[in-house]
Structure 1
Amino acid sequence: MKTSNFYKSVAVLLSGTAAAQAITLSILPILTRIYSPEELGMLAIFTATTSILLTVSCLRMEMAIPIQKFEVEARSVLVLCIQLVTFNVIICLIFCFAIYFIFPELLGGLGKLVFLIPVGILLGGVYLAINNYAVREKEFSLISKSRLRQSISCAFIQIFGGLFGFGAIMLLLGYIFNLGAGAFYLKKRLLEDLDFKSFVKFEKSKEIFYQNIRFPKYSVVESFANTAGIQIPVLIIASSIGVAETAFLFLAMRIIQAPMALLGNSISQVFYSQASENYKEGTLSSLTLKVSESTFKIGVGPIIFIAVVAQNIVGKALGQDWEVVGVYITTMSPWFLFQFLASPISPVMYVTGKQNLFMRLTIFGFSLKIFCITVAAIKGLYVIESFVFANTLFYMVCFYIFSQVGGNSMGNIIKSFMKVVYIPFAWLFGALFINHILAVF
């Protein structure tokens, strides 16, 4: 892919993602005034639980879709993914009934809302599969529009529900409709001719499954460990220091993740759509270096900016009861800075067939995070700080390994970063200037 085409594809994805993120962030001051910390804490618990299960809903077969050589193979993998999601949703529903009636103490404050989890997994799993099919087809404009529809649906439901006093259930339904709106839009635009009879052709699906066995064999554990390493600590924090405190952490993560969701995911999807071809041509190292430099140039600055101004702005925007969110944002900034650098080039592990190494890496990260957060929770000291330390260390290691697998030494990476280091510094000086203005007035 030529450099101009690469940036054009990223720009197309960014257009919709930027609008979607703007909607998500702009409604936060409304949500914090119409929902209590406890209600937003329930959303954090629901999101954490659903996210963990969602990552393995397709047994990671969705990651095989973009690298299929032929259209018929890609569609066959897509059908397999939806079959797997359906099966896993049935299993999840059985577990939800068992927990609700036999072990209700495990539900925390969710209660009957636990039955919304399978719905979220169904819609989210289908969206994951169709989204990866769109990546293969390089339909970045459709992906961009789907993200915008997701945010609009979520915002409307959550604000409407809060204003009319329906409580936490509307926060959860907004999250679910976020997933569903994207799935239905992409299906209608991209797969209108999909034959539903193919969903019952299990012999073909069995053949496709074994052809791509390396994805469930290695990537399920890797993906589960990666997501669980973020979300299980959120559940531990909820049980150790309270649901309300979890809401503060949840909002802080959502705000500082905005640059990563806006830029990192878009760059990563374009990178994955092209990396397989570059790998075959022997030019993967140049593509990986270009992506790393682009990520540093356009993404590190905004994270630094948010970290510096957060404590002066967040309290005013969200309300006095939420001032601690700004402190959490500043504390978490090193973690998200390195995650932002590492995540866009992580598909290099799939392209080069390093799923086994990726699995071992994420198991290390999962173990590190759970160990740090558990020890801190037991002692009742530095719980959030321990969470941040473990994630920062893990993503530093990830960035190093992804770069090496992509064919670039740290020396080359640093040299590339030094060419554009003035850009993050400009963001830093801008943040310091704004803090000075706020202090004066």
Structure 2
Amino acid sequence: MKSLLDKVNAKLNVQGGFLKAVSVLAGGTAFAQLIGFVCLPILTRLYTPEDYSVLGVYVAIVAILAVISCLRFDIAIPIPENENDGKALLLLSFLSNTIFSIILYVVLFISYPYIQHYKIIDQLSYWIWLIPLGVFVSGFYSALQYWATRHKRFKDIAKTRITQAISGNTASLAGGMLSVGFGGLIIGQLLNFSGGLFKLAVSAKKDLAVVKSSPLKTTFAKYSNFPKYSTFEALANTSAIQLPLIIIASFLIGPEVGYLMLAMKVLGIPMGLIGSAMSQVYLSHAPAYHQKGELFEYTKSILRKILKLVIFPFLILLLISPYIFGYIFGTQWADIGYYISAMIPWYFMQMLSSPVSMSLHIIEEQKIALILQIFGFFIRVIILLILALYFSKYISEYYILSGFIFYTVYMVVILACLKYKKVK
């Protein structure tokens, strides 16, 4: 038995402990996703597709704004070898996020009398005032999560995901039972954004007490490519995913966005379980492989691992989705299975490409990453908007297809850049 355990431990520790770290993150995330999946059939009977449509709009707006609230200094935190630079990047993230959130409240306060009658704003009602708060807690959590990633505290990250699942779903269930409408979903999502903040903050505070900080101005200049290029790259990427939901909600009357939102939530379970865990661990190990000139080989090995993990579950889900989800979520969600099946090719390519996407930043090709995201924004938002104006009947189908096209191109470009850097 001891020999078997030794073999398992050795297997998990190959490649700098990649599999062991992934197993820790995936284990915590799996429990969190299980909580969410168990609660979904109850939530879909407490809330209507229209309620989820409003939630989709709220999440879309927060996600678009939150991804730039730290000026992308947060994603740079694990990269520098010098601990002082890492601390300075964390402080820059906090500062940027706080200022950005305050500006959002000021802009919303000034503009609200002029925008309150627009369909999207009217749907959100007074819950719109929780948008800046959602951005603030999301940005704060992101910075702390990347600090934990820098120190390879994957158990702490996994625990926060469990906290997020418990607090978010509990609030949504309570709101549904109290018949507060879509507001229960929004409160639940807000807690999902912020769950586990305290635990990560306590660990970070202990670190910061014993580490000196590089001058913020010097660090800002040193990592200026992140706000200059990565901010717009991330904005284009997130907008390409989220803006179509707002466009579809504006042009189609009914539950369309609710179906898309729930389908994305279901497919986000394997994405959150495997893709997010691998992304965090890949980022913690990739800089070292880059310094040794082995990032291309390391990335290919990770892609092979991901492919082996996801190929069969996705095939099974593709075949059974149209037949099972109507029963799981209730009669008003009868068509959800067809949406899930149609979106599987998109999420399959996203599952492969997303965990290794940070490699473009590691090899300092932020410009290429930005160009890729601009391309994605064009095919996923601009073309969709044109279709919405003239052929609105087909915009949901095009949104799904464009996701598959974008992530396929993304994968090809990442591998080509890494191979070119190796040869060079």
TM over 0.5: yes
- In structure 1, which of residues 280, 286, 294 is the aligned counterpart of residue 291 of structure 2? 280
1:326 and 2:337 are equivalent in the alignment: yes
Match of 1:253 among 260, 264, 283: 264
CA-based RMSD = 1.8
Where in structure 1 are there 5+ consecutive unaligned residues? 410-441
In structure 1, what is the equivalent of residue 144 of structure 2?
A: 130
Which of 140, 163, 186 is equivalent to 2:177?
A: 163
CA shift, 1:194, in A, is 4.2
CA distance in 2, matches of 1:303, 1:216: 36
Structure 2 equivalent of residue 191 of structure 1: 205
Q: Give the match's secondary structure for 2:63.
A: helix
Between the aligned partners of 1:74 and 1:279, the Cα distance in structure 2 is 18
For this pair of structures, how many residues does the alignment match? 404
Aligned counterpart for 1:139 among listed residues 116, 135, 153: 153
Residue 371, structure 1, aligned to residue 382, structure 2 = yes
Deviates more, 1:229-238 or 1:161-170: 161-170
Amino acid at match of 1:31: L
Among residues 186, 204, 216, which one is paired with 2:227 in the alignment? 216
Question: C-alpha distance in 2, partners of 1:194/1:114?
Answer: 35
| Greater alpha carbon shift after TM alignment, 343-352 vs 367-376 | 367-376
Contact 2:350–2:407, Cα closer than 8 Å, also in 1: yes
Name whichever of 282-291 and 303-312 sits farther off.
303-312
CA deviation string 1:358-390 (max 9, x = no partner) = 000100110111133223322123211111121
Contact 2:16 2:285 in 1 (8 A): no
Contact (CA 8 Å) 1:260, 1:299: kept in 2 or not?
no
CA distance in 2, matches of 1:371, 1:101: 28
1:243, distance to aligned residue in structure 2 (A): 5.2
Secondary structure at the aligned position of 2:194 is classed as helix
Q: Work out whether 1:119 is the aligned partner of 2:133.
A: yes
Q: Give per-residue Cα distances to partners, 1:335-370, cap 9 Å, x unaligned.
A: 111111111110110110010000001001101111
Task: Give the aligned residue type for 1:376.
Answer: L
Partner of 1:422: none
2:21 maps to 9
Shift of the 120–157 alpha-carbon distance from structure 1 to 2, 3 Å rule, reads same
Percent of counterpart pairs with the same letter? 33
1:402 aligns with 2:411: no
Q: What amino acid sits opposite 1:141 in the alignment? A: K
1:100, 1:111 within 8 Å by CA — same for their partners in 2? no
In the aligned structure 1, how far is the partner of 2:254 from the partner of 2:156?
Answer: 37
Q: Secondary structure at the match of 1:86?
A: helix
- Aligned residue among 362, 366, 372 for 1:355: 366
Letter in 2 for 1:405: C
In the alignment, structure 1 residue 81 sits paired with structure 2 residue 93: yes
Query: Residue 242 of structure 1 corresponds to which residue in structure 2?
Result: 253
Contact 2:245 2:257 in 1 (8 A): yes
Aligned equivalents of 1:386, 1:372: Cα separation in 2: 9
- Tell me the equivalent position of 1:27: 39
- The match for 1:387 is 399
Task: Tell me, yes or no, if the aligned pair for 1:62 and 1:81 is still in contact at 8 Å.
Answer: yes
Match for 1:300: what amino acid? I
Matches within 5 A, 1:303-314: 303-314=314-325
Q: Name 2:164's counterpart in structure 1.
A: 150
1:63 to 75, 78, 91: 75
Q: Which residue of 2 aligns with 1:269?
A: 280
Tell me whether 1:337 sits opposite 2:348 in the alignment.
Answer: yes
Q: Name the TM-score, length of structure 2 as normaliser.
A: 0.92
Deviation by residue 1:385-417 (Cα, 9 ceiling, x = unmatched): 1111211111110010111223299xxxxxxxx
Q: Secondary structure at the match of 1:105?
A: coil
Measure, in 1, the Cα distance between the counterparts of 2:49 and 2:186: 14
Q: Counterpart of 1:242 in 2: which secondary structure?
A: coil
Stretches of structure 2 lacking an aligned partner (at least 5 in a row): 1-12
What SS class does the counterpart of residue 382 from structure 2 fall into? helix
Write the distance in 1 (CA, Å) between the matches of 2:277 and 2:195.
19
Shift in Å at residue 193 of structure 1? 5.9
Distance change in 2, residues 1:357/1:4 (3 Å): closer
Q: Is the 8 A contact 1:372 1:387 kept in 2?
A: no
* Distance (Å, rounded) in 2 between the aligned partners of 1:298 and 1:26: 23
Residue equivalent to 2:7: none
Counterpart Cα distance in 1 of 2:18 and 2:73: 25
Flag the 1:243–1:69 CA change in 2: closer, same or farther, 3 A.
Answer: farther
Among 230, 239, 248, the alignment partner of 2:241 is: 230
Q: What is the Cα deviation at residue 32 of structure 1?
A: 0.8
Distance (whole Å) between structure 1 residues aligned to residue 356 and residue 16 of structure 2: 19
Q: In structure 2, do the counterparts of structure 1 residues 95 and 242 end up closer, same or farther at CA, with 3 Å as the change threshold?
A: farther
Partner residue of 1:91 out of 70, 78, 103:
103
Q: Deviations over 1:84-103 (max 9, x none)?
A: 00000011111221332222
> Post-superposition shift, 1:258?
1.4
